[in-house]
Amino acid sequence: MKPLAGKHAVVTGGGRGIGAAIATALAGAGVRLTLLGRSRAQLEAQARKLATEVHVETCDVTDPAQVQQAFEGASHALGKVDILVNNAGQAESRPFGKTDLRLWRTMLEVNLTGTFLCTQAALPGMLAAGWGRIVNIASTAGLRGYPYVSAYCAAKHGVIGLTRALALELARKNITVNAVCPGFTQTELLEASLAAIVQKTGRSPTEARAELVRHNPQGRLVEPEEVAQAVLWLCMPGSAALTGQAIAVAGGEVM
């Protein structure tokens, strides 16, 4: 059974980590995919692993012109966009007193403005078709606070606010808008964060990992495939009553 056969999904940041896992899950449901990101090599490597029709677009999601061009290319290649997964993101930690304007703007532009721009590019086609699914990959940092990542938390809280507002605007349009909020997830991005913790605090890699794991009541890191399954569920035809939700995939960390 291919419950989403014929649908076209754009997955931003689709070349690795959570984005790659989401692309794999959607491909298994019959979706045709556009993978969007900054590294063509990563995108093409992921595309070769997928058992579906795949198009690749390189794009910086903070650049309006690049976003518009990428979505035009995606629509030309595979037709209107039915599903948008705003996964592209970036995390950087620093104490609030050392958070400069460059870091603040970077966190908001990549995590929040990128989501805004890609949604604006995809939405007209969904409205014309009378069907759509928008899933924003937020974070438990959008549901609670963490120390030393104030800019990232602010951006992800913004993603959830955008999700809720847009869900209400589109509630009668057969388009759902939801957020999936992973806890600490086993990805390359997390490994970079662990390396930064080791460098800045002098802790061992084992101690640094334990510090992140302790937030999860299950005592483990989340797997990218677990996040992907939540996204897939929200894209299914039977999930039409689910909109405006921020679903934590975090082992019970947020309830």
Sign of CA dihedral 39, 40, 41, 43: positive
**Does 152 qualify as catalytic in the annotation?**
yes
Distance from C-alpha of 97 to C-alpha of 43, rounded to nearest angstrom: 37
Cα(19)–Cα(165) distance, integer angstroms: 24
Residue whose token pair is 């070349």: 15
How many CB atoms are located within 10 Å of the residue 204 CB?
A: 10
Q: How many CB atoms lie within 10 A of CB 49?
A: 11
Structure tokens, 214: 């302790």
Q: Which residues contact 188 (CB under 8 A, 6 or more apart)?
A: 16, 17
The secondary structure of 121-190, three-state, reads: HHHHHHHHHCCEEEEEECCHHHCCCCCCCHHHHHHHHHHHHHHHHHHHHCCCCCEEEEEEEECCECCHHH
Given 138, 152, 182, 224, the catalytic residue: 152
| Whole-number Å distance between alpha carbons of 199 and 30 | 43
d(CA 85, CA 81): 11
Q: Which residues are catalytic?
A: 152
